[in-house]
Structures are given as C-alpha cells and as structure tokens.
Amino acid sequence: MSVKDRYAVFGNPVKHSKSPVIHTAFAAQGGQNRHYRAVRVEWGGFADAARGFFAGGGAGLNITVPFKEEAFRFAERLTDRAMRAGAVNTLSRCEDGCIEGDNTDGIGLVRDIVANLGWRVQGRRLLILGAGGAARGVLEPLLRENPRELLIVNRTPERAEQLVHEFSDIAPLAGGGYALLGDRQFDLVVNATSASLAGELPDLPSSLLTEHSCCYDLVYGAEPTPFMRWAALHAAWAVADGLGMLVEQAAQSFYIWRRVRPETQSVIRQLRESMESA
C-alpha cells in the first residue's frame, strides 16, 4: 500500500467514530486498497498532528469535534462552502501539494433528505433550530435548494441574526429568538441544536407542524431523540435522525479524495442494524 492510500479521522474523543467502518465499506465496494484509521489528537496538538500526517505522505483527513475550526485555520486553501461554514471536516492533499479544506456536512444533509428520504426542500417552508456550528455548516446547501422560506431560531437571538446577515446574499432568510415561531407552521424542521445530545428538547409550540411536516434531527442514535419523539407525538408526516447525513457527508469526502461516488444505502442499513443490535 502506498502512502497516498492513507487516510484518517482526527478527533477527541474519537473512539466512538463510525468513520473507519464507513470508509472501509466504501473502499470495499470498488476493491480499493486503502487504510483508514481513527486518531485521538490531544488538545492543542491538532496542527502538529495534521502537519505530521501530511508530511508522512497521508492523503486525506476527516475532522470531527473539537477540531473543525482548527482545521479551517490549518488549511492552505478553502472551498467556498468551507469559507461559508467557518469550519472544515475534510482535508485533502491536492495535486499541487496544497492542503485544501472543505466542509461536506451540508451536502450530506441535503443528499440524505432529498435522495434517501425523498423529502423536498425546494418550495418548502423550512425551520432550523439552533444557530451554532452545526447550523452554519448546513445553511448554504439548504439555501441553494431554494426553499420557499427559511427561518433560524436560537435561544440567543443575536446568533441567528448574525447567520442571516452572513448568508442573505444566497437567498432570503430570517432569524431571531423562539418568540418568532408564534403560531407559524413549517413543512420541514431541522434540529441543529445540541439539545438532543443532553436528552433535552427545544421549547417548541404544539402548533408548529402540519400533517405533512417532516422533521430531521442532526443527532443520531439507536433510540429516537427527544426531538424525534416530540415530532412523532405531534403527528409529523415523517421523522428521521442524522445517521444518513453521517454516511452521505463521508461519501462526499470519499469522492473528493478518490473521485469515486460510493453507494450509501447499504452502508446506512449496516450501521443502523449494528446500532440496534448493540
């Protein structure tokens, strides 16, 4: 195996990462001989670790928490979507030797919603809960799907308003505090808050959904998240977690590195079955 076939995911913690399983499955589809491993990087040591990886001939890195912003600063060149996101989850050594940073989270979300789940974004009323890094990372691809309207709400209204200011050149959108929800209804609700990780739920009005509304939580797990349970209780037409997004953003990274588009449905099923059996 040549050094150009070496890849890894950097994070802390990283033992739980499903990236090695996903990328090994992608490589097996085409019989590609490549090595992918999870690497725990100490706090304050990201730049040195990444520099050493690429100096040793490594071809590409995935970046998970808490190093996405450090990867953004480390990259020598950035894609437009990485610039928008202010964070990088994919680093690549390009043919000219430059280390390029990209962000595939938003593409992964849109592909899961549209291609895998069969939901529509175009022409729909879209609500995003949360205005942190997760929301920022998916905003541009969602806006480019041309929703009828897009509203961002956040506990700190100023953070949502800042995203509106930064992304309004792509398409019209609005943002502020949860009070903006009132009795408004939405066709698609994306939970980009960290509430599900803590087993909590954003404060949402019971009138938020219609009988045709779809609800998506960026968090995933073996059991439905509190947001997913809330959506089902309020008769959402369809509910999903972020496992498909995880696989689809990895598929985009794989394509950037290898110029091969892997099949994702079987990998999503494999991960789901593994999680449920565990």
Catalytic residues, by residue number, are 68
C-alpha distance from residue 166 to each of 12, 117, 122, 224 (Å): 29, 29, 21, 33
Three-state secondary structure readout of 18-40: CHHHHHHHHHHHCCCCCEEEEEE
C-alpha separations of 11 from 61, 63, 68, 69, 268 in Å: 10, 6, 9, 12, 22
Structure tokens at 229: 């349970």
103: nearest Cα among 81, 119, 122, 74: 81
Residue with tokens 């001939």: 57
Give every CB contact of residue 153 below 8 A, 6+ residues apart in sequence: 127, 128, 129, 131, 160, 175, 176, 177, 178, 180, 181
Paired tokens of 221: 């797990």
User: Would you say 230 and 196 are in contact if contact means Cβ atoms under 8 Å apart?
Assistant: no
Q: Under a CB-based contact definition with an 8 Å cutoff, are residues 123 and 148 in contact?
A: yes
Whole-number Å distance between alpha carbons of 105 and 85: 9
Q: What is the CA radius of gyration of the chain?
A: 19
Pairing type for strands 99-102 and 77-78 reads parallel
Instruction: State how far the Cα of 147 lies from the Cα of 142, in Å rounded to an integer.
Output: 8
